[in-house]
């Protein structure tokens, strides 16, 4: 990761003000498990919607074979929720490297933060099925996004 | 976490020799996504099978209302895989606290480690829907498991 | 089924005018499969949201142990769709029996019908895990719904 | 469908002797829902594993762009099941048409039939995203399968 990558331990990932990108997701009956609440693996599906959306919004168009793959994800589960209803997932870019980038997400039901995620994604060449360096315009678009949104980051309390 | 809790950074979570508990899972067609490989959220479902199995195997029977909830999970994605076939998921207890415990898992396809997970689970009272202290026999059973399996932990290379 | 139950072969299940109950569902990235379109099993999850919603809306409150289980479902897949976006699912009651009821659903993306479902659900006693006769007020509420919505049924063209 | 297509109403789809193709699937914790049993939509995922396996086993290799899409599926839910454990899914070809084929499946836990499925699949051209006629060797392989397995069909009792 570049030196532009802040340490997420220094950020309050539960603060909605830190997220410039938002996605609304309706909860499904099937999201609940035996305990009568939304299962932990469903949060991964919700974060994926926000992550793919963010990636499209902050990176310039690259070649067809260029995709991203998740390399590392830490989820903190802070509260439970149930069907029916909807959640909002906020997303922000945290850092950009040569072949990877770091981003953070948080799921909110009304004002309550249910979970946060800190993710490292790698650029991936679908033809060779190995990591790849994206073209310069992709990296430049992400660097611009980082400069634009850096002020939204609040230190953790 | 108690002082018996090792730091997972010091452990090689990709080493199958470190896992005393094993679960076999058949891959499903539906596990694959648009990229033609198993989706990242499916690993959470696989780790859940191993985690619930481990919890049953290493803790004594508690009251009906006592369940566990996932509080934090870090997954490292190391390789991709596809349907059809099966994976084996290893599990081990890493540490025991008053109201929580820490455990680690790894998914293997043949000898190849596809992903590791480092999890913190909390004991949960299903009646009050809040965290709970389990009865002494549950904690004692987990402490005994830790003593039994400590020698299986190999330092990371 | 009672004689009030029309034959769904005589109904055009793709006509949105026939559905008095509606649910909006956001499509998720994970809903897509290897073929790059929403997987067939996801339609079952969408229909479940609409079916549980319909059941709540058309039946009076019964005892805690009274739930419903799906006994039979026929899905006709008419068109494919992709993430991102949202779908609307229409639902209608088709017939009421002593221990079961019949209902129909259709998924629409904008004006296009993607799939229809014809379902038989049975009332189920969660304590004995066997089928059950619901209390009279549940059946009466459903009979009233049938009378109210019968005029919405259009014959198939 | 061709005249070789039997009427599934005349077949006992719950009889394991009728199925020449078998797939074993391990049940997952996440397969269960709020009612503490495997959710109905999971059966669609299980049937998909068996259907794609059957299609590969009974049809000759076609061009890369030739895939199948599900056009219609009727599931009869006969019994519930729970995690942990495994199920076996039997599959058989029922009929072959110009651009479609019909197949049936049943899920068994030990000797107990949990659900049956009667499916119509269509051949699909992934380039044009429309239905397609498969090359002659694909149809011939399926016709041969039908002749081989016709004797396995037992009339419904």
C3 pLDDT more than 60: no
Q: Indicate if the pLDDT at residue D152 is higher than 80.
A: no
Residue B57 touches partner D, C-beta closer than 8 Å: no
**How much is the pTM?**
0.92
Q: Around D50, how many Cα atoms within 13 Å sit in the side-chain half-sphere?
A: 30
**Rounded to an integer, what distance in angstroms lies between the CA atom of residue B52 and that of residue D32?**
13
CA distances for A99 relative to A126, B75, D119, angstroms: 14, 19, 45
Bigger pLDDT: C11 vs C44? C44
User: Mean per-residue pLDDT for C102-118?
Assistant: 98
Q: Taking all residues of chain D, what is their mean pLDDT, rounded to a whole number?
A: 90
pLDDT (0 to 100) of residue B141: 95
pLDDT band of residue A8 (cuts 50, 70, 90) is: low
Q: What confidence score (pLDDT) does residue B109 get?
A: 98
- Residue window 9-28, chain B: list those with CB within 8 Å of chain C: none
User: Each residue of A109-149: pLDDT tens digit?
Assistant: 999 999 999 999 999 999 999 999 999 999 999 999 999 98
pLDDT in tens, B119-147: 999 999 999 999 999 999 999 999 999 99
Q: What is the DSSP string of chain D?
A: --TT---GGGB-TT-GGG--EEEEEE--GGGB-TTSSB-HHHHHHHHHHHHHHHHHHHS----TTEEEEEEEEEEEE-----SSSEEEEEEEEEEE-SSEEEEEEEEEETTEEEEEEEEEEEEEETTTTEE-PPPHHHHHHHHHHHHHHGGG--B--
Asked if pLDDT for residue D7 goes beyond 80, the answer is no
Task: Give yes or no for residue D46 having a pLDDT over 90.
Answer: yes
The C-alpha atoms of residue C74 and residue C77 are separated, in whole angstroms, by: 10
Using CA coordinates, name the residue in chain C closest to A23: C26
- Interchain CB contact of D36 with B (< 8 Å): no
Distance separating alpha carbons of residues C61 and C29, to the nearest angstrom: 36
Identify which of D41, D48, D77 has the shortest CB distance to residue C45: D41
B33 at interface of C, judged by CB pairs closer than 8 A: yes
Output the pLDDT for position D10.
75
Q: What is the pLDDT of residue C9?
A: 59
> Stretch D51-79: mean pLDDT, rounded?
93
Alpha carbons A126 and A65: distance in angstroms, whole number: 5
Q: Given CB atoms, is B44 within the 8 Å cutoff of chain A?
A: yes
- Asked whether the predicted pLDDT for residue A9 surpasses 90, the reply is no
- Cα separation, D148 vs D4, in Å, equals 12
pLDDT bucket at B34, cuts 50 / 70 / 90: very high
Lowest mean pLDDT segment, chosen from B103-117, C8-22, C73-87, C139-153 = C139-153
Give the best residue of B28, B30, B83 to mutate against chain C (max C CB count within 10 A): B30
D154–chain A Cβ distance below 8 A for any pair:
no
Placement of tokens 């896992």 in the chain: B19
pLDDT of A156 strictly over 60: no
Bridge partners (DSSP) of residue B38 are B32
What's residue A141's pLDDT? 95
- Two tokens, residue B72: 């934090």
pLDDT of residue B49: 98
Region A7-14 average pLDDT? 78
Q: What is the pLDDT of residue B156?
A: 40
Pick C28's closest partner by Cβ from A29, A45, A83: A45
Angle at C105 between CA C102 and CA C106, to 5 degrees: 160
**Measured distance CA(B138)–CA(B125) in Å, rounded:** 14
- pLDDT tens digits for range C24-77: 999 999 999 999 999 999 999 999 999 999 999 998 778 889 999 999 999 999
Q: Tokens 């509080």 correspond to what residue? A: B71
Mean of the per-residue pLDDT values of chain C: 90
Chains in contact with A, counting 3 or more C-beta pairs less than 8 Å apart as contact: B, C, D
Q: Say whether the peptide bond before residue C64 is cis (omega within 30 degrees of 0).
A: no
Name the pLDDT band for A2 (thresholds 50, 70, 90). Answer: very low
Q: Are strands A21-26 and A86-96 parallel, antiparallel or unpaired?
A: antiparallel
Hey, of B37, B44, B68, which one would you mutate to test binding to chain A, going by the most A CBs within 10 A of its CB? B44
pLDDT at C60: 76
C29, C49, C52 ranked by CB distance to A49: nearest: C29
Cα distances (Å, whole numbers) of residue B64 to A38, B129, B135, B136, B148: 20, 13, 12, 15, 27
pLDDT of B4 reads 44
- Cβ atoms B111, B14 nearer than 8 A: no
A108/B97 Cα distance (integer angstroms): 29
Determine the number of helices (DSSP H) and then strands (DSSP E) in chain C: 2, 6
Residue D69: which of D134, D142, D153, D12 has the closest Cα? D134
Structure ipTM: 0.91
The number of residues in chain B equals: 157
Q: How sure is the predictor about C8, in pLDDT bands with cuts at 50, 70 and 90?
A: low
**Residue B115 has what pLDDT?**
98
User: Could you tell me how many CB contacts below 8 A there are between chain B and chain C?
Assistant: 20
Nearest residue of D to residue A34 by CA position? D34
B151/chain D closest Cα distance in angstroms: 29
Query: Which pLDDT belongs to residue B120?
Result: 98
Note the pLDDT tens digit of each residue in A16-75: 999 999 999 999 999 999 999 999 999 999 999 999 999 999 987 788 899 999 999 999
Residue A69 to residue B77, Cβ atoms within 8 A: yes
> pLDDT at position C7, please?
53
Mutate to test the interface with A, among C23, C24, C25, C28 (most CBs of A within 10 A): C28
Two structure tokens written together for C81: 């769709």
């Amino acid at each position: 990761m570049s030196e532009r990558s802040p340490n997420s331990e220094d950020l309050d990932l539960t603060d909605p003000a830190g997220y410039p990108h938002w996605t609304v997701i309706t909860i499904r009956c099937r999201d609940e498990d035996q305990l009568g609440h939304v299962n932990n693996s469903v949060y991964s599906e919700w974060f994926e919607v926000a992550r793919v959306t963010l990636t499209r919004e902050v990176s310039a168009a690259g070649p067809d074979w260029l995709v991203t793959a998740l390399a590392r994800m830490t989820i903190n589960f802070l509260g439970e929720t149930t069907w029916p209803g909807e959640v909002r997932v906020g997303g922000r870019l945290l850092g950009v490297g040569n072949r990877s980038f770091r981003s953070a997400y948080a799921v909110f039901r009304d004002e309550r933060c249910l979970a946060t995620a800190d993710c490292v994604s790698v650029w991936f060449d679908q033809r060779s099925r190995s990591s790849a360096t994206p073209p310069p315009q992709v990296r430049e678009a992400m660097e611009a996004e980082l400069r634009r949104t850096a002020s939204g980051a609040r230190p953790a309390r």
